[in-house]
Amino acid sequence: MNTLLPAIGFGLVTASILAVAGVGFTLQFGVTNILNLAYGDIMTAAAFVAYLVTSAGVSVWLALVAGAAFGGVFSVVLNRALYTPFVRHGTRLFGMIIVTISVSLIVQNGLQAIFGASFFSLNMPRPAPIHVAGMVFTTVQFAIIGIAVAAMLLVHLLLRYTKLGKAMRATASDPELARNCGIATDRVIDLAWALSGTLCGLAGVILVMNVTAFTDTTGSQFLIPVVAVAVLGGIGQPYGAMLGALIIGIASEVAAAVISPDYKNVVAFVILVIVLLARPQGILSEIATRKEVAA
């Protein structure tokens, strides 16, 4: 028992980061229909932006804002300058995946070329431990959970109560129909890249806040559980991704504590396999029925 509770605590932290990244990823893919495999590398890039900001002696909170803003702007520009032109040029799904991997490689290795292949860490105040119900958090981890909860609430409000948010949700849950109804306009697409990119940037910064050191591959390594979260929750389902993050985050940390740290990613994989066998459309998705309607 005494390893389980702290593990659940770690799990909550991991789940928070996963939720921010996963919701961004699932919205991006659901709304724009582009499987952006450079997502993890944009997270890393945002982390490096935050690194530069904190190295200049500015507070880590401002670095967080800078990283998130960078993620949003970079994603919108990336889509406008590269992805959309390729789609208009007639590149189909497979081709687009190759395009996004190219971007992933270019961003990751670009960072390596600029910063060098070594370890980096954010310059921030030394965290203090906080005990909550048998779980131990650092102040930073506490902040991460808080940031994630706030971000999820904001996303919820945005999707539920604003016109653009509703349009985005409609597009994510049924792109075909939304397009036919004239919803999926460029504005919605732009907003989707901005919102998902901001979440991506935010996730990148909180990810490296939680580790002692990061490299140019930190974000792309994190992409596995993020994708697992998105698949688990059902593509285009932000609430599914939140639930998926909670499940995978806690399960992987518990497995790491109880079995062996090596199994951290394996758990995500096993969960994914079970989901694929039992319910390929994800836990909170109506994709299956939709697919049949479209057939």
Using the rule CB under 8 A, is 89 a contact of another protein? yes
Q: According to CB under 8 A, which one of 43, 209, 231, 246 is a site residue for another protein? A: 231
Assigned token pair, 204: 């990148």
Closest to another protein by CB, 36 vs 141, is 36
The label of the residue with tokens 């770690």 reads: 10
The whole-angstrom separation of Cα 24 and Cα 29 is 9
Closest to another protein by CB, 58 vs 266, is 266
23 within 8 A of 249, measured Cβ to Cβ: no
Q: According to CB under 8 A, which one of 64, 143, 188, 230 is a site residue for another protein? A: 230
Return the number of other C-beta atoms located less than 10 Å from residue 119's C-beta: 11
Give me the least distance between CB of 103 and another protein, in Å please. Answer: 7
* Non-local CB neighbours of 293 within 8 Å, separated by 6+ positions: none
204 within 8 A of 20, measured Cβ to Cβ: no
Contact flags string 53-82 toward another protein, x per CB under 8 A? -----------------------------x
The label of the residue with tokens 């697992």 reads: 228
Beta bridge partners, 136, equal: 131
Q: According to CB under 8 A, which one of 203, 228, 241, 251 is a site residue for another protein? A: 228
Contact flags string 26-45 toward another protein, x per CB under 8 A? ---x-----x-x--------
The whole-angstrom separation of Cα 6 and Cα 103 is 38
* Non-local CB neighbours of 117 within 8 Å, separated by 6+ positions: 215, 216
Residues that bind another protein (CB under 8 A): 29, 35, 37, 82, 86, 89-91, 93-95, 97-99, 101-106, 108-110, 112-113, 116-117, 221, 223-224, 227-228, 230-231, 235, 260, 262, 265-266, 268-269, 272-273, 276-277, 280, 286-287, 289, 291-293, 295
